[in-house]
Amino acid sequence: MPVPLTFQHVRESLSNLQNETDLDLTPDFLEALEAEGEEVTVEINGLEDQLPGLKRKLDALWDGERDFEYELVSVFMHRGEQVCCTIVQANLRAREDKRGRTLLDVPGSFA
């Protein structure tokens, strides 16, 4: 569930419970939940607006760079579930090929 909807559902649920339980929920608290949901929505929209520009900058990093040899050492895939603390690390060494180009070498990957 998106974060803004979470704030909305919590606010509505607590509002419904306000008269039925001994919870001491003030209108200020419920208004603060609503305001927080609106702020999160504005922040998410701003970040989404920045994405196309950031993607263009990322693509531009490698413009003109076509002479690098590389080897794919890992692939990380998930199905949208929360992943906690997954870290993949490779120790890379720089080396030169026969034409004098600098290559990144993963220990044990080149015979």
Cα–Cα dist 18/69, whole Å: 64
Domain count, the chain: 1
* Amino acid residing at 23: L
For residue 4, count other CB atoms closer than 10 A to its CB.
Answer: 18
Q: Which domain holds residue 54?
A: 3-60
- Within a domain: residue 83? no
20 vs 34: which has the higher pLDDT: 34
Q: pLDDT tens, 37-56?
A: 999 999 999 999 999 999 99
DSSP state of 18: T
- Within a domain: residue 95? no
**Mean pLDDT computed over 12-38:** 85
- Within a domain: residue 11? yes
Provide the token pair at 111: 């015979």
